[in-house]
């Protein structure tokens, strides 16, 4: 495998840009191809079979069209549904997935109460259940499926984003740093970091927001390093591909990544 090939990154839409942002900071010499499947979004309420079908098709597309040397599934819902299937089908390809940051949250919480906001697909998956079960005795987890929130962020519908963030944080209830209160919020969908300002306003400065960009970027670096695939001379370029609106993706990328 050539070291100078790009790394593929995909999500149902713009959410994976929050992961790409961290990847570019960690791996400035790598070239990337970002695939947004906005024509089939949102994934969160579509069911496992649909999402795994899309994930497998996108992996093939990125390999055939861009000859990627590694793949980051920058979507919690797709990782839960398909990371094992993609790995089994492409055994030579390093594949990194994302999962809600429960482990970092357990390390951070002082009250022992953590809220996890994610898509219905992620929270109902066997992969998430196993993760949660493995940490069961370390914190109390409040799980809130956030129907519609990723789509509202995708469409940049700010009034709806605010309304849904308010509704779902109220559902988790009650945030604060006193004993028994939730002091740590896991943003368990890669779209949600783009609503971090709204969450911060609703919850105040003391509640900790946890996302997965940096640990995923570090894991990607480790994996490529181990396989001798780090690019010493890339230009840090990003190419975009989408099944949806190319202009909307460009606008989101220039807003959030200054690209």
**What does the binding site for ligand DGL look like in residue numbers (CB under 6 A)?**
11-12, 15, 41-44, 75-77, 119, 122, 150, 189-191
Please state the closest distance from residue 232 (CB atom) to ligand DGL, in A.
31
CB-wise, 10 or 141, nearer to ligand DGL? Answer: 10
Would you call the peptide bond into 35 cis, given omega within 30 degrees of 0 as the criterion? Answer: no
Between 210 and 229, CB nearer to ligand DGL: 210
Nearer to ligand DGL, 42 or 70 (CB): 42
- For residues 239 and 31, give the distance between their C-alpha atoms in angstroms, rounded to a whole number: 8
Side by side, the strands of the sheet bearing 208-210 are: 140-145, 113-118, 184-187, 208-210
Exactly one of 165, 173, 174, 189 is catalytic; name it. Answer: 189
The residue number whose beta carbon is nearest to ligand DGL equals: 44
Cα within 13 Å of Cα(82), Cβ side: 26
Active site residue 173: no
Report whether 90 contacts 57 (CB < 8 A): no
Q: At what angle do helices 213-226 and 17-26 cross, to 10 degrees?
A: 50
- 193/234 with CB nearer ligand DGL: 193
Radius of gyration for the chain, computed over Cα atoms and rounded to the nearest angstrom: 18
Is 189 catalytic? The answer is: yes
CB count within 10 Å of CB 212 equals 26
Q: How far apart are CA 127 and CA 129, in angstroms?
A: 5
Q: What are the residues whose beta carbons fall under 8 Å from the beta carbon of 24, sequence distance 6 or more? A: 30, 32, 236, 238, 257
Active site positions, annotated: 75, 189
């Amino acid at each position: 495998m050539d070291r100078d090939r790009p790394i593929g990154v995909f999500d149902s839409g713009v959410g994976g840009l929050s992961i790409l942002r961290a990847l570019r900071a960690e791996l400035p010499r790598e070239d990337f191809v970002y695939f947004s499947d906005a024509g089939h979004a949102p994934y969160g309420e579509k069911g496992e079979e649909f999402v795994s079908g899309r994930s497998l098709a996108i992996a093939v597309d990125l390999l055939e069209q861009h000859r990627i040397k590694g793949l980051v599934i920058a979507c919690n819902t797709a990782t839960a549904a398909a990371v094992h299937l993609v790995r089994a089908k492409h055994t030579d390809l390093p594949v990194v997935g994302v999962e809600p940051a429960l482990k970092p949250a357990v390390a951070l919480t002082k009250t022992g109460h953590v809220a996890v906001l994610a898509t219905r697909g992620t929270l109902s998956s066997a992969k998430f259940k196993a993760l949660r079960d493995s940490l069961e005795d370390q914190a109390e987890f409040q799980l809130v499926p956030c129907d519609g929130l990723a789509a509202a962020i995708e469409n940049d519908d700010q009034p709806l984003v605010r309304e849904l963030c308010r509704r779902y944080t109220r559902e988790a209830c009650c945030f604060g740093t006193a004993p028994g209160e939730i002091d740590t919020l896991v943003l368990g969908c890669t779209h949600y970091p783009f609503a971090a300002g709204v969450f911060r306003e609703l919850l105040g400065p003391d509640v900790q927001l946890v996302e997965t960009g940096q640990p995923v970027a570090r894991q990607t670096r480790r994996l490529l390093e181990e396989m001798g695939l780090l690019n010493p001379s890339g230009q840090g370029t990003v190419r975009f591909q989408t099944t949806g609106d190319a202009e909307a993706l460009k606008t989101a990328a220039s807003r959030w990544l200054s690209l």
